Amino acid sequence: MNIHIRKATEDDFRPTEHLTREAFWNIYKPGCDEHLVLHNIRKRECHIGELDLVAVSENQTVGHIISTRAVIVDSQRVSHEVLCVGPVSVLPEIQKGGIGSALIQTSIETAERLGYKAMILYGNPDYYHRFGFRNAQEYGITTSDGQNFDPFMALELLPNGLDGIHGCFFEDEAFRTDPDELDEFEKQFPLREKIVTDTQLKL
């Protein structure tokens, strides 16, 4: 499949919300809220237009990735700007075909060119290690509540970009959704059944 990756425009906003909903529906919980997260990101200062990227094939949006401004707050309460990666979405019927990898690699290269120091994300270690992401614990970085686990990973974009930067990672408030807000937002999309899957039971 031939794909073209480019910066998203406002005309892409709703299609990518639909795409994100399709990609995450019933994966981590009944339904999903990642499409609302994406919608809210674009209304906040954390949004970086150059890192809001779509993959297009034959005039169809088949993939999307976004990275946003986030911070690591150290023990002296000094904030260090980094990037938070995600949501990353590919149409379910064409996943595992290289589109996600192309989006991630393009995002990394773009972020490097823009001069950002590092990226942080939550994801599958087996998948993201191939791009150079490592357990954030290796850099002395924890989640906002002081936790570390394998899916919480960091990538230095500049040489030694995380040297001397240790502390707690905080993504934007856009990642915290309200159930009532989600219910109202869902009215804009086709009705879908929310179910509990085997994957959710294992989490």
In a domain, 156, yes or no: yes
In a domain, 188, yes or no: no
Report the b/e string of 22-31 with b at 16+ CB within 10 A. Answer: bbbbbeeeeb
Residue with tokens 């980094």: 82
* Number of domains forming the structure of the chain: 1
In angstroms, rounded to a whole number, what is the distance separating the alpha carbons of residues 51 and 38? Answer: 13
Can you give the pLDDT of all 203 residues of the chain as single tens digits? 799 999 999 999 999 999 999 999 999 999 999 999 999 999 999 999 999 999 999 989 999 999 999 999 999 999 999 999 999 999 999 999 999 999 999 999 999 999 999 999 999 999 999 999 999 999 999 999 999 999 999 999 999 999 999 999 999 999 999 999 999 999 999 999 998 876 665 65
Domain that holds residue 20: 4-174
In a domain, 90, yes or no: yes
In a domain, 101, yes or no: yes
The angle formed by the CA atoms of residues 129, 163 and 152, to the nearest 5 degrees, is: 35
What pLDDT, on a 0 to 100 scale, did the predictor assign at position 198? Answer: 66
Tokens of 125: 């270690």
Do residues 117 and 67 make contact, with C-beta atoms less than 8 angstroms apart?
A: no
CATH number at residue 50: 3.40.630.30
Omega prior to 87 cis, within 30 of 0? yes
In angstroms, rounded to a whole number, what is the distance separating the alpha carbons of residues 39 and 169? Answer: 22
Q: Which pTM value belongs to this model? A: 0.95
What pLDDT, on a 0 to 100 scale, did the predictor assign at position 1? Answer: 78
In a domain, 18, yes or no: yes
**Which positions ≥6 away from 146 have C-beta within 8 Å?**
168
In a domain, 24, yes or no: yes
In angstroms, rounded to a whole number, what is the distance separating the alpha carbons of residues 21 and 31? Answer: 8
In a domain, 193, yes or no: no
Instruction: Give helix then strand counts, H and E, for the chain.
Output: 6, 9
Tokens of 180: 């009532």
In a domain, 195, yes or no: no
Tokens of 174: 């856009």
